[in-house]
Amino acid sequence: MRKVIVLEFVTLDGVIQAGGGPEEDTSGGFAYGGWMAPYDDDVVGAAVQKQLNMPFDLLLGRKTFQIWAAYWPHHSDQWPGVNPATKYVASHTMTSHEWQPSVFFGGDIAEQVTNLKQQPGPDLHVYGSANLVQTLMKHDLVDAFWLKIYPLTLGSGKRLFADGTIPAAFKVTESHVSPTGIIIVSYERAGAVTTGSVGG
């Protein structure tokens, strides 16, 4: 079965909005676009490159798809795998685009993704797509989080874990810290939350 893997650049207070540049996503009056740039280093760059080189298809929300469609077809030298990968796009309004191969689906997003996971093919990588990620988490469809956690707080913006996140346990499968303080960590789904008493 294909896994859904959420790959996000995230602040300490959980913001995932517009890390890449000032004009990437200004919705909601977000004023901190490009917050990742001051922390770039070779270690996080190597970690990202390793993930980009894995076999994958993409599972994206409409807004992220539109941002990417304006950029990646002209910069395939930076990420050769992105253009030939199938882009599965969750959207209730968009049905086609010239950036191919692309598959658009609306309706019951959770049911569509559940079916998609059953089909043959590489794992489904989710970048950005804040609204889609919330839907995936509410329906327990995320198999892994591959996060880069940056040492800053922003106080506002679209967050990775928003209201409605279901209780879920995860295990760490890989982690290290870059020279600029970015925590590079991978979590895999590990069943239900368990509780107990500490120290007693």
In a domain, 193, yes or no: no
Number of domains observed in the structure of the chain: 1
What is the spatial distance between Cα 96 and Cα 14, in angstroms, rounded to a whole number?
A: 32
* 177 closest CA partner among 151, 197, 155: 151
In a domain, 22, yes or no: yes
Pair 63, 25: CB distance under 8 Å:
yes
In a domain, 68, yes or no: yes
Q: What is the mean pLDDT of the chain?
A: 94
Residue-wise pLDDT for 59-71, tens only, equals 999 999 999 999 9
Inter-helix orientation angle 109-118/130-138, to 10°: 80
Instruction: Tell me which residue range forms the domain holding 85.
Output: 6-183
Put simply, whether the predicted model's pTM sits higher than 0.75 gets the answer yes
Q: What is the CATH number of the domain that holds 23?
A: 3.40.430.10
In a domain, 194, yes or no: no
Pair 148, 10: CB distance under 8 Å:
yes
Within a 10 A sphere around the Cβ of 103, how many other Cβ atoms?
Answer: 14
Helix H or strand E encompassing 6: strand 4-11
Tell how strand 183-189 and strand 170-177 pair up: antiparallel
What is the predicted pLDDT for the residue at 200?
60
In a domain, 39, yes or no: yes
Residue-wise pLDDT for 115-170, tens only, equals 999 999 999 999 999 999 999 999 999 999 999 999 999 999 999 998 778 899 99
Structure tokens belonging to residue 41:
């280093």
